[in-house]
Amino acid sequence: MSGISAGARYAWYAGLFVVGALVGAAGSLVQAAWFPAGLLLALLATAAVFYAGRRATGNQLGVAAAGAGWLVAIVLLSFGRPEGDGLFGGGLGEMVFLLGGMAVAVMCATMSRLAPPTV
């Protein structure tokens, strides 16, 4: 992404933030609905978005943008409503999804850079 303008770069980061938030919200629903296969599916989708952010931008900010959107969605969905309804019940699956997603974000952000392809 070194050859594009700053505005286009920020658009990429904003898009990754939105996609991360969507994957976080979908993963929150899927991991509880189809446990344990839903948990695995949610973590794989999370890893795919973080890795795609890394590959698309070529730096750690792509992972950070997608990870920030993912985390915002997870935190907002964990608050619940004043009536006591909440999406997360506090079980093992929810904790694995939260901590596993954060671990995947750290792994993707700390990956070494890939060498440019030789022609």
Provide the domain limits for residue 62. Answer: 6-80+88-109
User: Which H/E stretch holds residue 79?
Assistant: helix 60-79
Q: Is the pLDDT of residue 13 over 70?
A: yes
Distance between CA 1 and CA 65 in Å, rounded?
Answer: 15
69 occurs within a structural domain: yes
Say if 51 falls within a structural domain: yes
For residue range 72-85, list pLDDT tens digits in order. Answer: 999 888 887 777 66
Residue 114 lies in a domain: no
pLDDT at 23: 97
pLDDT higher than threshold 80 for residue 116? no
Least Cα distance to 9 among 52, 65, 80, 85 occurs for 65
Per-residue pLDDT tens for 37-56?
A: 999 999 999 999 999 999 88
27 found inside a domain: yes
- Predicted pLDDT at 33: 82
The answer to whether residue 56 sits within a structural domain is: yes
Total domain count for the chain?
1
Q: Is 119 a domain residue?
A: no
In a domain, 101, yes or no: yes
